Structure 1
Amino acid sequence: MATTAPVREVQIEYDVETPMRDGTILRSTVYRPAAGGRYPVLLSRTPYGRDAGTDPLYFDPLRAARNGYVVVRQDVRGRYGSDGVFDPSHQEADDGHDTVQWAADLPYCDGTVGMWGRSYFAETQWRAAMTRPSALRAIVPGVSAAHEPVDGFQMRGGARELGSRWVWVHGPIGPDLLARQHAGDPAARQQAMTGLLAGLDSASTGDLLATLPLSALPEPDPATAGLMASLARDVTDTEWDRTRLDGRYDRVQAPALHIGGWFDVFLAGTLGQYRATADLAAERGTRPPRLVIGPWPHVGVAGVCGELDFGPTASGAFVDLTDLHLRWYDATLKGQEEQLTGDPVRLFVMGENRWRGYDRYPVPGARAEEWYLQPDGGLDRRVASASAPDIYDYDPRDPVPTVGGSTLLTPSLPPGPYDQRAIEARPDVLTYTSAVLQQPYTVLGAVSVTLHAASSAPDTDFVARLVDVHPDGRAMGVADGIIRASARESYPEPGVVRPVPPTPIEPDTVYEYRIDLWATGQTFLPGHRIRVDVTSSSHPRWDRNLNTGHSAYDSADTAVARQRIFHDPDRPSLITLTVVEP
């Protein structure tokens, strides 16, 4: 942290106004040392209410102010205390640029600005940074979305992110939209809020999101309806070009400290942004980025996630994420390079439950190893012998329920590692399990599944999941992914998205499908077994494939699909794991 002693008093100013280039006024809360002087500004821009509670395990603004920084928390355009109309993503570049330059000119600012925050706060950082405001010298995006909108933000493998999209629109976003919509009519406002809460309650039980077609989902108010229109778009929609950040990081000059979680719904964004900025820094000869990935979901940095306790060292308190932020800013904004210590890449490895340090990611010395699905439900390093395919029927009217994972759903459907045995007992879920491990086996990096499969339907989905089977039988989910058969050409290999028009499949024809499970840090301990689950749904996380070739947004007609998974020398199905030494 800063080498000077912490200040004794912090002054807090509310409703500080910032004019945008079009005259719209945005409002902020400012924390600053009360003794006067000039300091760097740490700016965060949020749609969730600038005075809403913060998570001090992630970043403590009061502690930052006591260590010689001015902290500005601003409501973005059209939210809470700020004027204007909220237009997610599209408004944040110009508004972010204007706010950074305004902050640099404050009488108590020394002319330098850093940005911080996670999720949408992270997106506001990237969009501001891409405009290259001269005062912006460093950013710290956490659990960052919008890297590639059709790879985890709005869609995944061609399937729509139904659950997270609906919950975001109706939970964090909906109430303030409705309050603004009915500002002059308390009765109408109360009625709209009642409808919103009823919808959230119904979503928590799973009943609401079972609605077909999805366009018939009840909306409490037109103010929220437009934000759900993304469920009608396919992978080639031009809207994704407007929101996509991938391929545009060359516009960014500010160095980045990236923070993410193995169970974050936007993990691919964090890792993709780190790799992009690392490549650019190497090319330019500038400061390299840093990366921290914990065993965390999208919200929260505790040492407990899902049904597993990863120990006290896994929590944000032990890691001291506020300290990591401040050391980064001390180096980048105050020139105190000696404060930037430790490995540039810190990854928590679950199972062994300890942090590992590296100089880059993907980590040095990592290698890809393939485990092949076997005809007897086994999983082995050897290719399976000649065998008949495994068969199951997928009925969209009875989808496999979402149980944990890298999700952002209602509190009744929490994220993280959960026991999968209940869903593995279903007839529409196949399991492939290794022999008991005799030595620790550490997976640290990319994970993907290659399926050779056929379906009786013109379109369908395949879901794959990596599972850690404990000696007591618990089957704890580690990572998963999905591919929509009609979108297979848009996801030709893990980590690569090339949007092309969806194309149906020929029924009962074998295709090769690549399912990106993104990445993990997991040591499978002696006595444990590695398992791969294969099925065709995870609802309400992803929208159901109706097996008809029609979108669930427009149609309620369904068909049962007979799925065949092949595992023979000519058509091997396998999981590819990135392995490092224990």
Structure 2
Amino acid sequence: MRKPAWVALTALLASCNAVALAQAPPNQGPPGDIPDHFARPVAQDDYVRRIEMIPMRDGVRLYTVIVIPKAAQGAPIVLTRTPYDAHKAAADSDSPLMTEVLRRGDEELAQAGYIRVYQDVRGKYRSQGVYEMTRPPRGPLNASATDDTTDAWDTIDWLVKHVPQSNGRVGMIGSSYEGWTVVMALLHPHPALKAAVPESPMVDGWMGDDWFHYGAFRVPNYDYIAEQTEQKGDGDGVPRAQYDDYTTFLEAGAVGAYANAAGLDQLGWSRKLQAHPAYDSFWQDQALDRLVAQHPSDVPTMWEQGMWDQEDMWGANHSFAALKRAGHEGNNWLVIGPWFHSQVGADGRSLGPLLWQGDTAQQFRRDMVLPFFREHLQDGPPANLPRVNFYEPALNHWQSYPDWPAAQASTPLYLRDGYALSFHKPAAAGSDSYVSDPARPVPFEPRPARFDDRAAWRTWLVHDQRFVDGRPDVLTYRSAVLDKPIKLAGAPIADIVESTTGTDTDVVVKLIDVFPGQVRAQPGMGGYELPIGTDILRGRYAHGFTTPSPIVAGQPQHYRFTLPNVNYTILPGHRIMVQLQSTLFPLYDRNPQTYVASMFEAKPSDYRAATITVQHAPDAASAVWLPVVKDAAIK
């Protein structure tokens, strides 16, 4: 029987409604509390933020955040090129105040009315292009037409043409990797680049910055490699099976096996590290201290370093020294403060248990960087900065020098019988021995060792060394109690004569200030063993860093290498201590003590205990050569 038309129409409407309901988004009804788009009012802001994709010469565009004071007119630009997210660096909060929006280290620049610019390096975060870790300069390692030198040039050229509030002058500043980008810009600087402040820059990753120290590999860099190169944005570190990183890396075996098991063989930089364990052309051709000396710029440059920088101890002071040797000291300055890595951008009142006179990092930014920029970016009054500013931790104030080093390492402090130290050479032959067992390496910090414990990581270079003093595989030598101060102002040199029953070894030397047993002003420092210079040499490189060679078992060898710069007075009532050992684990990978072509490929059977014998004899005298300032007035 045919249905009435109204019935059919009703059925059709019902069907349409059903389809509409099925396609409609859920929870339709009264308007919700979340708008489709929210725009924060900016009328109260004292700055304007611009986002630009600045074109490079090859067409790649780089994400750039420009923060301009609203009152700016004829203002200088300060640029930082970063692999750590420019958006985050220039948006630290939603405050209407520019001083709060930027990083803490930018506070003085914001107060001075500077235009602040952050840019993602190519291939990272919101920038286009392909990312390479510290991309080498154009040349043998980079056949393309671009590098971070050209990217800095193109960026500065765009900024001075497209930021009308600027005076056409640009300064660059940045720490660590960001410091590396500053140094890269100096290789062929844009004419508008008028001042540069590379802070703790990555300069030579094999000799003494991030990746190796004199050939010994720094294990926590695997986390950094993963975080930086797993993806364009933030990557993750390497997951841990153990709470204690000491246990994790001990059980993993060779570092190459650990990396491959963690999937890091998929990451280009990890593969490059494993392919270049020696100081070959891969490292030499991108060592920026060499390159800035070969191509010195006319840009006034202030090099900054931390005396206890746990990550990049090499770059600033060796760049300054290389430029000085090349005759280009005149437009370069050096500042070394009592800081951990990149502490210049944070609070500088203390380092671990060490307490300073005020905020030393703020003093650097306010009293050195800002006058330096004012002079060169604004035609301000001469900054009149001394050639070298170096904080004196023992006397707790800044000291200035017309040159650096103030003293050469020409005073030997000899190892003697009875685990003594003396400025007099041994009169008779003697030696001390210990067994170095890769199955029981000496920890670099009190266990549990955890690289993600930022407080412990930042301060490991000032940890009280009593935690290893007394271990049978650590030789500890002490001087008599000093009756007068000894002023050091330069880089000590370790000169150790030792033999091993193995065919390879590592030599770790620590120069330590031992405090008196009672320190009334700060009781916790009673007897404290404070390292003032620590480093490591992989023994296979004793006769040259480019060509490793096995050690002849049982034959004494000279291991001579430079420790980090110190400006330090060892006070009366203190002692000098030298500790020698063969491991700093798991900061540095274990030497199997059997010569292998590459530590990354060592097998479990290669790791063997060895007896280390340190000589102290008239014709084989082990010593640490100190840069003693003769007849120094201690003030």
Q: 1:44 aligns with which of 80, 87, 92?
A: 80
* Aligned position for 2:538: 484
Q: Which residue of 1 aligns with 2:178?
A: 121
Once the two structures are superposed, the pairs formed by residues 15-414 of structure 1 within 5 Å of their partners are: 15-52=51-88, 60-61=105-106, 63-90=108-135, 91-108=147-164, 109-147=166-204, 149-163=206-220, 165-171=221-227, 173=228, 176-177=231-232, 193=236, 196=237, 198-199=239-240, 202=242, 205-210=245-250, 211-217=252-258, 225-229=267-271, 230-249=273-292, 250-251=294-295, 252-264=297-309, 265-280=311-326, 283=327, 287-301=330-344, 302-303=347-348, 306-313=351-358, 315-317=360-362, 319-338=363-382, 340-363=383-406, 368-403=410-445, 409-411=451-453, 412-414=456-458
CA drift at 1:231: 4.0
1:375 and 1:224 map into 2 onto residues whose CA distance is 52
Structure 1 residue identity aligned to 2:529: A
| CA distance in structure 1 between the aligned counterparts of 2:179 and 2:168, rounded to whole angstroms | 22
Larger Rg: 2
Letter in 1 for 2:184: R
CA contact (8 A) 1:161 1:541 kept: yes
Percent identity for Structure 1 against Structure 2: 27
SS in 1 for 2:530: strand
Instruction: Please list, as runs of the form range in 1=range in 2, the aligned pairs for 1:537-552 lying within 5 A after superposition.
Output: 537-550=583-596, 551-552=598-599
Kept in 2: contact 1:262–1:519 (CA 8 A): yes
Provide the C-alpha distance between the structure 1 equivalents of 2:619 and 2:199, rounded to a whole number of angstroms: 43
In 1, the alpha carbon distance for the partners of 2:591 and 2:510 equals 18
Cross-structure match for 2:615: 566
Greater RCO structure (CA 8 Å; 6+ sep): 1
Contact 1:408/1:414, CA 8 A, preserved across alignment: no
* Structure-2-length-normalised TM-score: 0.79
TM-score (norm 1): 0.86
What are the superposed Cα offsets for residues 352-383 of structure 1, whole Å, 9 maximum, x if unpaired?
212111122112x6663111000110000001
**Kindly tell me: are residues 60 and 560 of structure 1, through their superposed partners in 2, closer, same or farther at Cα, counting changes over 3 Å?**
closer
Question: Could you tell me how far 1:29 is from its partner in structure 2?
Answer: 1.4
Q: Give the SS at the match of 2:178.
A: helix
Counterpart selection for 1:554 from 590, 601, 611:
601
Aligned length: 542
Aligned equivalents of 1:150, 1:479: Cα separation in 2: 16
Give the Å deviation of 1:202: 4.6
CA contact (8 A) 1:9 1:66 kept: no
Q: Which runs of 5+ in 1 are unaligned?
A: 1-7, 180-191, 491-498
| Cα deviation code 1:67-106 (max 9, x no counterpart) | 2422111111111121222112224222222112222222
Equivalent in the alignment of 1:429: 474
Give the secondary structure class of the aligned counterpart of 2:315: helix
Instruction: Indicate yes or no: 2:576 matched with 1:576.
Output: no
Task: Work out the CA distance in 1 between the residues paired with 2:153 and 2:265.
Answer: 27
- Counterpart CA distance in 1 for 2:103 and 2:49 is 22
8 Å contact kept, 2:78–2:114: yes
Could you tell me which amino acid in structure 1 is paired with residue 149 of structure 2? A
Question: Over aligned residue pairs, what C-alpha RMSD do you find?
Answer: 2.7
Counterpart of 2:560 (choices 507, 514, 517) is 514
Q: 1:227 offset after TM fit, Å?
A: 2.3
